Structure 1
Amino acid sequence: MKLASWNVNGLRAAVKKGFWDVVRGLDADVLGLQEVRAEAPPEPPEDLEGYRWYWNAGERKGYAGVGVLARAEPLAVTRGIGHDAFDEEGRVITLEYERYYVVNAYFPNAGRGLPRLGYKLAFDQAIEAYLEGLRAKKGVVLMGDLNVAHREIDIARPKQNQKSAGFTPEERAWIDAFLKKGWVDTFRHLHP
């Protein structure tokens, strides 16, 4: 099964800029989208038959949200991680397949000046617990935008950005600890 992930930064805008052409080119069985910022998904063009939407828009209009466009029909779909404080923002959707779960997540951003750093770190811990619970049952693929630049190679001007959202020592320490539990960053694995 071919899986792909994309932060579209507004799906309506992405559709106007050639979204469907990219979907055709990717030819993914499961395409996870983050930051869809839409209450409902658009209809796929007729030539993309076989795809179906799975959606979690959250409560606030035009904010966050995740969606999955999939040809492979899941056994079950779960919206959120069971924590109202995070689930109201529509940040996670899980598709269960026979041998594994596909979790599509849009992690919070700590924000300029870090006003939501505490919220982001709490989300990190909550989703980690959720993922570990799933992993106890079968394999898990986490896709999405984690809103963190893990290593200096992942960001421009690392020295100047030490206290910037997505590159704070706290956020980077969390992802270090997460990966030490056996999770694999497939991008970094393929592109060391």
Structure 2
Amino acid sequence: MTEQPAPYRPNPVLKSVEHGFERVLFNSRWLMAPFYLGLVISLAVLLLKFCMMLWEFIVHAPGAKESDIILGVLSLIDVSLTGNLILIVVFSGYENFVSRIDPAGHPDWPDWMTKVNFAGLKQKLLASIVAISAIQVLKAFMNIDAVFDAQKIAWLVGVHLVFVISTLILALSDRWGSAHGEE
């Protein structure tokens, strides 16, 4: 009769250390919560800036030229897009990396907030950045009569094109990855 080897039994002390380490790693996700709270505070600061810009826009509107009105509106849109960008990062980042948000009991809860995965987050972020960049380029062109700085406009257009190309490449790589079963 041949002797069979004893079954493998992990060392209980090492297993306990491993579980403790995994608990620390898993709970470290809560270190991100203050970052998201800070972004919510920055959103409040952005709201204050938006209100100040809106007040200035309203006060100067009666005597302003059409191009100044358009530039003012573009500036307000720019700030609101930045606010949207902050919300996208806060909600999807918290949901993806910290804890699930329970939308139950909130009838006006937008569907996208609990359904944005990391790939979707990247695409929404880059799309927002492209829109903000496009507004900056448009504002520079609208203001071209007052201040013409060819180098500044070239930089704005160049940076905008980099954002557009980056967004296209990311979208194509995400589509190619999802078509091949990767996430």
Q: TM-score normalised to the size of structure 2? A: 0.27
Highest RCO, 1 vs 2 (Cα 8 Å, sep ≥ 6):
2
Q: TM-score normalised to the size of structure 1? A: 0.26
**Larger of the two Rg values belongs to structure:** 2
